[in-house]
Structure 1
């Protein structure tokens, strides 16, 4: 069977750490698959907040997740802390992919690699919208290391 691969982005734009709580643990006594996307969501919200945006307001538009992929690299247990790094790939007219890598701060091992495709969304018109030019310019500056 072909295995999923998620390529790393060229630039890390944001880093954050997330503690693993009992709610993230399944009957196998390790982190459940449902927690992976929830933790990626937390990292995404923190990144946007660091830019003074939210998922519902990026230059007047929201974003929605259009697809997601998860690669599990090693187990994660209750009490562990994951260090997330976030970067972007596959920019297009309507959005981009966010690639997250998570490493366990205790073991120093990569534990997860996640990709979420996001598109801009006009919630008033209920349809996909083009990426706001001001946001695109800001991302370009961040990716080049020239961000304020």
Structure 2
């Protein structure tokens, strides 16, 4: 079976540290597979907040997640911390991909890579909306990791 490959962007636009809590641990004693998506969601919220946005208001539109992919690289345990680095890739008329690299805060070992497809959404009309031009001006071309 072919494995998912998630290439990292050349540049990351945001970084945050997250604690691994007891609720993030599975019966095997390490980070649960569903917990990494919750942690990525927290990192995404912090990313938008750092740029003055919320998931419901990015230059007048909200966002929705259209897909997700995860590649696990190493175990993580309760009480440890992860550094999430986020980068923007693969733009289109309606959104982009957000790529996350999660690494152990003490060793730097990569723990996981994730990609979530982000699409802009008009919640009033319940329809997909074009990516706001002002959103992309926040990120210099060299920070757009493959973005045109």
Instruction: Please give the range of the TM-score, normalised by the shorter of the 2 chains.
Output: over 0.9
**Gaps (5+ residues) in structure 2?**
none
| Distance 1:3-1:141 versus aligned 2 partners, 3 A rule | closer
Cα separation, 1, equivalents of 2:69 and 2:120: 19
CA deviation vs aligned residue, 1:61-119 (integer Å, no higher than 9, x gap): 00000000000000000001001100011011100000000101233210010000000
CA contact (8 A) 2:11 2:142 kept: no
Q: TM-score, normalised by structure 2?
A: 0.94
**Gaps (5+ residues) in structure 1?**
none
Give, in angstroms, the shift of residue 141 of structure 1. 6.0
Partner of 1:22: 22
Partner of 2:97: 97
Q: TM-score, normalised by structure 1?
A: 0.94
RMSD: 1.3
Deviates more, 1:68-77 or 1:134-143: 134-143
Partner of 2:133: 133
- Partner of 1:57, secondary structure, is coil
Aligned residues: 144
Give, in angstroms, the shift of residue 11 of structure 1. 1.1
Cα separation, 1, equivalents of 2:90 and 2:109: 26
Aligned ranges for residues 1-148 of structure 1 at < 5 Å?
1-140=1-140, 143=143
CA deviation vs aligned residue, 1:20-59 (integer Å, no higher than 9, x gap): 0001000000000000110010110001000010000001
| Distance 1:123-1:142 versus aligned 2 partners, 3 A rule | farther
Cα separation, 1, equivalents of 2:92 and 2:140: 13
